[in-house]
Structure 1
Amino acid sequence: MLRVGLTGGIGAGKSTVAGALADLGAVIVDADRIAREVVEPGSEGLAELAAAFGPTVIAADGSLDRAALAARAFADDESRLTLNSILHPRIGARTQEYVQAAPADGILVQDIPLIVEGGMGAAFDLVVVVHVDEAERLRRLTEYRGMEESDVRARMAAQATVEQRRAAADVWLDNGGAPGAIVEDVRTLWIERLIPFERNISEQSGVIAASDIVEANPEWAGQARRAIARLGLATGGRSLAIEHVGPTSVPGQPARDCLDILVTIADAATAQELSAILGGAGFPVDSGATTPDLADLQARAVGNSYRLHRGCDPLRPVAVHLISPA
């Protein structure tokens, strides 16, 4: 399964992108919808909110009065923590139910507004950010949704900055063009990246970069940071060191377009375990490789065990070099 995180600022058009992906065959898990589900009339979540914040948070029709809840729950830090303790476990459990129900060979897209703010990017194989500049989002939200300008500005100020979203984005979708234009961008993303990415994961087939030397890409460093974060999460904080090495780690240096990530492991038993884990995380072992690709890794590998894994993303080749005691 390919897991994609979809995010963007308020008014950027995440729903349009999610709808286009659903039409193409993706399984969509919408965090906002789940947050509403767990407090539906008659639910345990709604009953617990009423017990914690009083019956006034329940509207006359039995539904949650969100304005009344906000007035009580955000009055102080203790109330906010109480709210989170009621909602977050239920949202997490329901989300997991949807994830587990998705087909093993599917493309799962989790629409989560706060992926960047919550530092959740490493949990996904790919993070897609939908972007529209602030002035245009303000116009759309006030004109089309009838929101108050002060409310829109306050919500924007509480969300991640453009720079923070760019740092988290594997895919940047600009939705500032003509209405509907982004749907074609989504279709291209689906055909050229998501489908082959999922196929590579299912077949445990890593991507080998082209041998051509290309001009230095200023995005290599950020791409490497995201790859390292994913590897770190997958390996669960075991005793190892993960670093970006090789030509693409040198700013301004032309190189083959492949991110080389070195994982140094303290013991052979852990290396064996991690090799299996990385395959499940989208970095399968390259069984045909017996020596490091990079000359500067040869010396480190002497007298040690070496394994080469490759990433499954068709548009972002990654080579993961595992070195451990023999």
Structure 2
Amino acid sequence: MLKVGLTGGIGSGKSAVAARFARLGAVVVDSDRIAREVVAPGSEGLAEIVATFGAGVLAPDGSLDRPALGALVFGDEAARRRLEAITHPRVRARSAELAAAASPEAIVVNDVPLLVEVGLAPTYHLVVVVRTAPEIRLARLARDRGMSRAEAERRIAAQADDARRRVVADVVLANDATLDDLHAAVDALWHERLVPYEENLRRRRVVRVGQVRLTEPDPTWPEQYDRLAARIRHALGPADVRIDHIGSTSVPGLPAKDVIDVQLAVSSLDEADGVVAERLAAAGFPRFPGEWWDSPRPPGGKPWPKRLHGSADPGRPVHLHVREAGSPGWRYALLMRDHLRADPEQRAAYLAMKRAVAATAPDNVGYTTAKEPWFDEEQVRAEAWAARTGWGP
């Protein structure tokens, strides 16, 4: 199944997005509803809250007096963390139960107000953030929840700000206009990205890039890489793996194909063929079929074998190169990246060559093959630079 994390600040309209996803066919797991469930009268969660904060947080009917509890924890970080330690593990466990009960072909949207604050972003295949201007949020909280401006501002300040949410967001839905506008954006995301993503994930199908088109440098490429690397780390578990951003999108200011190249170091390709391959595929990075290798440098030697994975997400093409740590291919990818970062003249020469090749060999295979002679020459230049500077991978 495809797991989507949905978040947004209080008053952003996240619930309207979740409702639209549900109407389109998503299985929506509402963390707010679960948060109420785990502290219902008679629950272990409520008993622990009373033991921690006192009987003053109980209403006359024995239920949780939310305004009373809110008055204690909002604005008091230590108190809020004590509350989160009680509720968050219970909410996560119940959310996992509900997601596990969904169909294997489902798109499960987990509506999590504090997704950023508790570090859950890497656990999802995609994170959607609903963003709304602060003044609109304040007006909604006053109109829909009867909050004073001071109380609404305090609630907003207790959550992650827009900048922190943007860092983890694969998709940002702006909700500053009408409900119809919001529904149109959700519908487009559903049909154009989420539905094909789920099918690709289920079928272990890789998004392929056919025609080569160079784009201007995107300042968010490093942030996009960080999100991908975090998902890969989460998928591979507690092992301390090395992951690097390589290729043209890792060189600041360099136009490139809009494909994020990532390098994962493994101890052996046998390891890459086992549990690593399956975990990567489940996380949205299926393996390209066939055998893959890098051309040796200098030419004439044996090819450098590797495994190549891609992305099941049609909105973010990825080439994930799985190479043995310390191997020639692994080292060369890092050396070339760092040399181009350090040498403006070679960056310019590389760009000129890429533009010329893209104009004559626009398909991906032809483009890659046509660049090989330049890489052979770059290897000599880069090794000389490494010797002069004392570079190491």
Question: Do the structures match in fold with TM over 0.5?
Answer: yes
Kept in 1: contact 2:34–2:95 (CA 8 A): yes
Q: How many residues align?
A: 323
Counterparts of 1:6 and 1:76, CA distance in 2: 26
Which stretch of the first structure deviates more once superposed, 79-88 or 103-112? Answer: 79-88
Counterparts of 1:274 and 1:298, CA distance in 2: 30
Change (3 A) 1:176 1:302: farther
1:84 matched to 2:100? The reply is: no
Letter of the 1:116 counterpart: V
1:123 matched to 2:123? The reply is: yes
SS in 1 for 2:147: coil
Equivalent residue number for residue 186 of structure 1: 186
> What is the CA distance between 1:206 and its match in structure 2?
0.8
Alignment RMSD, CA only? 2.5
Letter of the 1:200 counterpart: N
Counterparts of 2:141 and 2:73, CA distance in 1: 25
SS in 1 for 2:322: strand
Structure with the bigger percentage of helix: 2
> What is the CA distance between 1:210 and its match in structure 2?
3.3
Change (3 A) 1:302 1:142: farther
Change (3 A) 1:250 1:13: same
Change (3 A) 1:3 1:47: same
Equivalent residue number for residue 241 of structure 1: 242
Gaps of 5+ in 1: none
1:271 matched to 2:272? The reply is: yes
SS in 1 for 2:128: strand
Counterparts of 1:121 and 1:257, CA distance in 2: 23
Equivalent residue number for residue 152 of structure 2: 152
> What is the CA distance between 1:252 and its match in structure 2?
2.5
Equivalent residue number for residue 132 of structure 1: 132
Which stretch of the first structure deviates more once superposed, 156-165 or 42-51? Answer: 42-51
Letter of the 2:149 counterpart: E
Equivalent residue number for residue 287 of structure 1: 289
TM-score between the two structures when normalised by the length of structure 1: 0.90
Structure index of larger Rg: 2
Kept in 1: contact 2:293–2:303 (CA 8 A): no
SS in 1 for 2:145: coil
Letter of the 1:234 counterpart: A
> What is the CA distance between 1:269 and its match in structure 2?
4.6
Change (3 A) 1:289 1:304: closer
Kept in 2: contact 1:29–1:108 (CA 8 A): yes
Q: What aligned pairs does 1:308-323 form with structure 2 within 5 A after superposition?
A: 308-323=308-323
Equivalent residue number for residue 254 of structure 1: 255
Equivalent residue number for residue 61 of structure 1: 61
TM-score between the two structures when normalised by the length of structure 2: 0.76
> What is the CA distance between 1:291 and its match in structure 2?
2.4
Equivalent residue number for residue 104 of structure 1: 104
Kept in 2: contact 1:242–1:262 (CA 8 A): yes
SS in 2 for 1:33: helix
Kept in 1: contact 2:307–2:322 (CA 8 A): yes
Percent of residue pairs bearing the same amino acid type: 44
SS in 1 for 2:28: strand
SS in 1 for 2:5: strand
